Structure 1
Amino acid sequence: MLRTRVLTALVLLPLILAALFRFPPLAWAGFTALIAGLALWEYARMAGMQAAAKWSYLLASAVLAGAAWKLDYRMGLVEHVAVLAFWLVLAPLWLVKRWKLKEGLLVRLLGWLLMFPAWFAMIDWRPVPQAGVQLLALMALVWVADIAAYFAGKAFGRRKLAPAISPGKSWEGVFGAVVAVALYSVVVNHLGWVPFSISDWLLLPVAVALTAVSVVGDLLESWFKRSAGIKDSSALLPGHGGVYDRIDSLIAVLAVANALSALVRF
């Protein structure tokens, strides 16, 4: 299992880095739309959509994405506030209430709320290949949090974070992630990879908040899977499960970071 996981990562990482730093804007938009589309397909599976409904939903999603790119659409203030309200209020409430996905209009809108803001963020944060380092720094925050949480949880984990949703996660793992991300954010800021000027003391609470958001994103997808009675969102990535399994935290952090950045500009 570990060998398969490592081999898959060794194949995917060069592809992602090549896309991030080499693809022109249109190719980057298409590449990231494909990732979001695959995750949306897995989400539709978890939501219990039948084949015809699932494929019509994915077709509508592709048309919306194509139109957004063609019209150079960018999220406005209201949309960014809605994203923040979802990830900071509704998503945690969803975990507390443990609502189940029930196929219908609201579930389809939820899928778009999960994937589209993250896709727009990947376009906004990397308008040209030269800006790839800034997006990579933001994505790496999620990876640092995940790795630190795993090892801190293995070494010190005692108190379960959400045993009814994801029994393997612990509060000690979360604390380890917070410490690691705090250190990482200071390093990144001093390297000049943050796309705006900000002091370490102001950046730290933002980094901690994004760590909390990454945990919520992870737990939300874990709950979707548990309520659907499946272990992985799909088997597309050998040793890793599905695409949504790999970007569950990332879509939350991307969307929230982009919303916060936009609110500063507004």
Structure 2
Amino acid sequence: MLIPRVITALVLLALLLPALLAAAVWPFALLTLVMIGAAGWEWGRLNGIAQLPSLALGGLVAVVCAVAWQVGWAASPPAALWWLATACWVLGGAMALRAGPAAWPALSRPARVVLGTVVLCVAWLALAAAKARGLNFILSAFCVVWMADVAAYFGGRTFGKRKLAPAISPGKSWEGVWSGMCGVLLLGLIWLNYETAVFGSAGSVFHVLRQLGWGGFVVGLIFLCTLSVMGDLVESLAKRAVGAKDSSHLLPGHGGVLDRVDALLPALPAVMALASIA
């Protein structure tokens, strides 16, 4: 299992890094359009839709995102979109987690499909908008989520005692969540000290939040960490409701695309929302 996981990670890096480092937005946009389309297909399959309609759903997600890109929303989308998406995640995610996996199938299938389609399209648009702001910004946005996940994993294994959501994701603990938050705050302080030396300018998510004062810096990063955990839990809830371990097997050793991007789905729009006020 480890070898396929490593090979898949290396292949993904070989595809992602050149697109991420390119000065133009379009290589990254095209690559992520394919990925978000695959996530749309996975969402269809998780909600009991047959193969061909699920493929059509994935294509629809990619087309909607491509149209939004063509009309210029990737460069200058309305800030209200990010705030609306973030508010919906906070309220809707909290309601879904409170209700638990058993209540998820009670929501009609068309509603679940539409909900997932909107979430994926908005997340991709936030991804493209973050790339348009520069490498420093989008890489720091990724690192907020990655650090929250990695620090939570090790913190949970070391200190974890109190389960966060045993009915949804038994492996997660409150101690892991707090460890993730501490890890992100530490990363932010280090990033602020070295970003001009590495990137030549101060344009990271951490710099944006620092403009809101140290209180805004701390609260903003804790908020982003919380949303990343919520994204992970909501996807786990949808899988547990149908008895699925992974969203698909597209990425050997890693599961599916949704399994890799679930924490980014709420975090990226929230990053753009916070950036709009700083």
Same fold by TM (over 0.5)? Answer: yes
* Separation in 1, partners of 2:184, 2:6: 23
Root-mean-square deviation (Å): 2.0
Q: Which residue of the partner structure matches residue 104 of structure 2?
A: 100
Q: Which residue of the partner structure matches residue 228 of structure 1?
A: 242
2:89 is the counterpart of 1:87:
yes
Cα distance 1:9–1:56, how it changes in 2: closer, same or farther (>3 A)? closer
Paired amino acid for 1:168? G
Identity rate of aligned residues, in percent? Answer: 36
Using the TM superposition, name which of 30-39 and 5-14 deviates more: 5-14
Q: Which residue of the partner structure matches residue 60 of structure 1?
A: 60
Q: Superposition pairs for residues 3-152 of structure 1, below 5 Å? A: 3-22=3-22, 24-73=24-73, 75-98=77-100, 99-101=103-105, 102=107, 104-127=109-132, 131-152=134-155
After TM superposition, give the deviation of residue 256 of structure 1 in Å. Answer: 1.3
Q: Superposition pairs for residues 198-213 of structure 1, below 5 Å? A: 198=211, 199-213=213-227
Cα distance 1:174–1:230, how it changes in 2: closer, same or farther (>3 A)? same
Paired amino acid for 2:162? R
Contact 2:42 2:54 in 1 (8 A): no
2:204 is the counterpart of 1:194:
yes
Q: Secondary structure at the match of 2:262?
A: helix
After TM superposition, give the deviation of residue 111 of structure 1 in Å. Answer: 1.2
* 1:218 aligns with one of 232, 247, 269: 232
Q: Secondary structure at the match of 1:100?
A: helix
Q: Which residue of the partner structure matches residue 155 of structure 1?
A: 158
Contact 2:145 2:263 in 1 (8 A): yes
Structure 2 regions of 5+ residues with no counterpart? Answer: 196-201
Paired amino acid for 1:34? V
Q: Secondary structure at the match of 2:171?
A: strand
Q: Secondary structure at the match of 1:167?
A: strand
Paired amino acid for 2:251? L
Moved over 4 A (4+): none
